[in-house]
Structure 1
Amino acid sequence: MKAARLAALLAALTLPGAGMASDLTYKIFGFEDLEGWEEDDHQAALDTFLNTCRDLKAPDWEAICAVAAQQTNARTFFELFFTPVMIENGEPALFTGYFEPELSGSLTPTDRFRYPLYRLPPEARNGRFVSRRDIETTGILNGRGLEIAWVDDPVELFFLQIQGSGRIRLQDGRVMRVGYGGKNGHDYRSIGQELVRRGVYNKHQVSAQVIKNWVRRNPIDGAELLRHNPSFVFFRIVNTLSAEEGPAGAMNRSITAGRSIAVDPKFTPLGAPVWIEKGGNGPINRLMIAQDTGSAIKGPQRADIFFGSGDQAGREAGRLRDPGRLVVLLPIQRAYAMLPEDNL
């Protein structure tokens, strides 16, 4: 029994969140405790799981992945090889949404297309670079051949930087996909919070679309508002994925609309299935896969749901800010190893 407890403790020390916050709690559920579990499309979740499963290198995950590709009953697979675990730290659950923007652009600057996407300059690779304001007002990057493309909307470009990846639809119909290539080392500041601080809006009124509309109605003050955020993101061309596939997530694999989520990997292992129960308008009870991360996604009960590409996906993602609960599906032995020793 002591040996079993020691093995469990050693396993727990390798888990996300283990040995970190003292107020973490772990609760084991049965699948019958997951609201709507029986009605979900488990095969869709399994297909998404298989997209990144091969990249999981821990022995217990590798064994499960070897079996996963041979399954004919997806629900039975998840119920046989996983245990639902809810990890909490006292903070309420929060679900938000994200998407892959699509901007109109050109490979050469024109009167219409005059706002550049830049590659990471060499001097920004190992430390702090100048702020957004300096980049935009001093011309420090001009004439250096760092431009990837030019777009026609500085507001959409700003939000492309927040998303970190997107698509540029060129004038000949081709689509260029760009991904995160680095940043200038400055911390992100929320311009939505700044509008609230100024008394322009109340907190519950702020959304991406509201911010965009305000900046466009107030072009001079709007440009200054965007510069309130000193963080500046550089891009790279992504040519490993087709235009029909979703963008690459943190696991460097294509993510799937409605089935992929961004999580905090300190608590939720990347690649793990996660049961989502989102409340609010348009409740969602669905098995999704943790395949991405985000700078604003912090804590064990925090997730960002990927809605897809383009304007409609952006509108749906922008409206989402709801409570609920998040339950991680972990390999059975790993799940029980997370419990305090007194519960073993």
Structure 2
Amino acid sequence: MDDSRAVSGSGYFFLSGRNIFFGPPVAIMTNYLAAYGTISQAAGEAIEQVLILKAKVKGKCFGPSRELQEEVKGIYNRGVEERLHLMVRLIVELGSNRPRRFGVALSQLSLNLGEVADQMIELLYLPGYRNLQKVLLAQLDHLQRTLVYFRKTVTGKEEPTTFNINYLLRDIALAICPFRAEFLPSSDERIIGVAIKEKLDESVPHMVGEPEAMYLALYQIVGNALIAAGSKGTVSLYSKYYDRFKQLQVTVADNGAGIDRLGVLKSALEAEQLDPREAEALRRDTADHNNKIFGLIFKPRVSAFASQNSKRKGIGLVLAHEEVLRHRGKIEVYSKPGRGTTLQIFLNV
């Protein structure tokens, strides 16, 4: 894709697996409307390529066909990844003038996108992988939803529609951790021992909102639960509809070590999201339900895992919290040391 009409200079930005690489800064553009249009167009073209991939995956019985594997990989590399390069170049360029809007958009685009794409391509070459077609479709749905959400963020266009939260949870369970034992041969060294259990209320009605936004919010919450559970833990997904109150409850629980309260406090202080004078009072809060410390994990740059991995910047839960609030919902947090963490999301239907 020729991007010379939209981008000048030699700057670059690209996603590669779990890393994000920035190149030299590009020249500041003056025609912002043209830039918005180019970003939107590139996102739309990337979505079209993902749809082509989905059609190919749906129409094939996957086996040891190297030709088919290379075809799918080629479409992604040429059709999707090249457009991602263009979009993020423009975002970096415009972000210096509108840092809030484009910083959020960049975070939304980059969260887990490169990792999911790499996993999808790797799965094509795994012999004996069970439910390959189903998992690949879930991962392509993830790419499509992320791109649609990103495009809506950049253009500022909201398109509420009806969706069912159970469908989103099932897709997340397939896409987010494809190296589980239930999918791989027992001898495969890539197996991750974590289990995902679902108990979804089939009476849950459709709701009106932004399905891509709610999907990505839940994806980030489930992703954090997987990290907390560890390689041998369990993450449980529940949904329950209360007809009397017209309220939907979504629960994501893990059996990990629980929220590291002192670690969160330290992270919040380092991120300047907490007044040092308030920290001592928070340390004395020993509640396991909606502890004031728990609320800090929804603040920018505050990580629930800072003590384990300093590279985690606490972006995912911030975006998840914002989207739940935008859908007129709320999140309650329960966490007990050594007993795991439970996030309950309440939405009015």
TM-score, scaled relative to structure 2: 0.22
Whose radius of gyration is greater, 1 or 2? 1
Structure having the higher strand fraction is 1
TM-score, scaled relative to structure 1: 0.22
Considering Cα pairs closer than 8 Å and 6+ residues apart, tell me whether 1 or 2 has the greater RCO. Answer: 1
